[in-house]
Structure 1
Amino acid sequence: MGIKSKFKRFFELDDETYELETYEEEEPEQYEEERTSVKKTGNVVSLQSVQQNVKVILVEPRVYSEVQDIADQLKSHRAIAMNLQRVPHDQARRIVDFLSGTVYAIGGDIQKIGEHTFLCTPENVDVSGKISEVLDDDY
Structure 2
Amino acid sequence: MQNRTVSAITSAFKLVVIEPSGFEECPKLVDSLKSKKPIIINLERIESDTARKIFDFLSGATYALNGNVQKVANNIFVFAPENVDITAGVNHKGFSFENEKKNSNPWK
TM-score for the superposition, normalised by structure 1: 0.57
Aligned counterpart in structure 2 of residue 114 of structure 1, from 70, 73, 81 = 73
Describe the superposition over 1:86-106 as per-residue Cα deviations: whole angstroms up to 9, x where unpaired: 210011111111001110111
Structure 2 Cα separation of the partners of residues 129 and 72 of structure 1? 25
Q: Does the residue aligned with 2:53 lie in a helix, a strand or coil? A: helix
> For the aligned residues, what is the CA RMSD?
1.9
> Greater relative contact order (Cα 8 A, min sep 6): structure 1 or 2?
2
Counterpart of 1:102 in structure 2: which amino acid?
A: A
Structure 1 stretches of 4+ with a deviation exceeding 2 A read 44-47, 51-54
Q: Where does structure 1 lack aligned partners over 5 or more consecutive residues?
A: 1-34, 132-139
Indicate the residue corresponding to 1:47 in structure 2. Answer: 8
Aligned partner of 1:64: which letter? Answer: F
| CA displacement at 1:45 relative to structure 2 | 7.1
Taking only the aligned residue pairs, the percentage that are identical comes to: 39
Residue-pair matches, total: 88
| 1:23-102 aligned within 5 A | 47-48=8-9, 51-102=10-61
Gaps of 5+ in 2: 91-108
- Which whole-Å CA distance do the structure 2 matches of 1:104 and 1:52 have between them? 25
Partner of 1:11: none
The structure with the largest strand share of the pair is 2
Task: Give the helix-richer structure, 1 or 2.
Answer: 1
CA distance in 2, matches of 1:64, 1:47: 41
Q: Which has the larger radius of gyration?
A: 1
Structure-1 residue corresponding to 2:62: 103
Deviations 1:68-109 (A, max 9, x none): 111111111101010011210011111111001110111111
Matches for 1:4-23 after TM superposition, within 5 Å:
none
Q: In 1, are the aligned partners of 2:41 and 2:76 still within 8 Å (CA)?
A: yes
